[in-house]
Amino acid sequence: MLILLKKEINGFLSSLTGYIVIIIFLIITGLFLWVLPIDFNILDFGYANLDSLFMLAPFVFLFLIPAITMRMFSDEKKSGTIEILLTQPLSDTQIIIAKFFAGLSLVIFSLLPTLIYFFSVYQLGFPPGNIDTGGTWGSFIGLFFLGASFVSVGLFASSLTDNQIVSFIIAIFLTGIAYMGFDIIYSFDLFGNIDLFIKSLGINAHYISMSRGVIDTRDIIYFISFIAIFILLTKISLESRKW
């Protein structure tokens, strides 16, 4: 499994795909946070915090992570190498997990340079260091789990089709529902006492909870369960070839 993981990571880093994704993420966040005169601009905000990054990054991930994952299985299917891969001495689950961690690695590579933003804001505080460090690190952890969740959804979408564009669209649709859909349903106030429960089914509720700096085991269990469900769905999708 480690060999496949290294192969997938090398596949990203030996082509332009991985670098393009990282550069686009950093350009978009850098422009919105430091350059453009909009509400997200940290220098115009007047407070030393990275809230703008953690509000913006999930929406960037909604498009970039499907772009990372869209080829993982669909390209294998289109080229016919999926059969060779699935006949290797690896279980379907091991193959899925290797591809999952490869996609997650690229997400981590994208997030690491944003630590420069944290250092910059830390120094810009008055006095320097006057920043909610706990909340910031909680937000980074929440963003990591959010990215991992999006990768699992993208893998599932990629396993459904041999067309990368279709996989990309399906992944955006599913991650959009998982991140924003339940909040939208909650805002309609249609279900009375269970509205809060419906809201808690969405990723955003748990992401916001972790952003407060308190790492609640319920939030961690939610993200792990979410990822496990989509890995299981991906496994079922791959096994459907035997039916």
Instruction: Please indicate whether residue 94 or residue 228 has the higher confidence score (pLDDT).
Output: 228
Please give the residue range of the domain that contains residue 144: 2-242
Local structure of residue 129 (DSSP, 8 states): T
Nearest-angstrom CA–CA distance, 186 and 194: 9
Does the pLDDT of residue 116 top 60, yes or no?
A: yes
pLDDT at 156: 95
pLDDT at 226: 96
Does the pLDDT of residue 15 top 70, yes or no?
A: yes
| Letter string b/e over residues 136-159, b meaning 16 or more CB atoms within 10 A of that residue's CB | bebbbbbbbbbbbbbbbbbbbbbb
Name the pLDDT band for 47 (thresholds 50, 70, 90). low
Determine what percent of the chain is predicted with pLDDT higher than 90.
28
Does the pLDDT of residue 185 top 90, yes or no?
A: no
The mean pLDDT of the chain is 84
Of 94-98, 125-129, 205-209, the poorest mean pLDDT is in 125-129
Nearest-angstrom CA–CA distance, 90 and 38: 50
pLDDT at 70: 87
Does the pLDDT of residue 154 top 90, yes or no?
A: yes
Residues 6+ apart with CB under 8 A from 18: 12, 68, 106, 109
Domain count, the chain: 1
Q: Which residue has the tokens 């699935």?
A: 86
Average pLDDT over residues 232-241: 86
| Contact of 117 with 43, CB cutoff 8 Å | no
Of 11-20, 106-115, 213-222, the poorest mean pLDDT is in 11-20
pLDDT at 138: 86
Local structure of residue 188 (DSSP, 8 states): T
pLDDT at 184: 87
Average pLDDT over residues 152-166: 92
Does the pLDDT of residue 243 top 60, yes or no?
A: no
Note the Cα 113 to chain centre separation in Å: 16
Residues 6+ apart with CB under 8 A from 1: 90, 94, 95, 97, 98
Nearest-angstrom CA–CA distance, 60 and 55: 10
* Total number of residues shown for the chain: 243
Instruction: Please indicate whether residue 210 or residue 223 has the higher confidence score (pLDDT).
Output: 223
Nearest-angstrom CA–CA distance, 179 and 205: 9
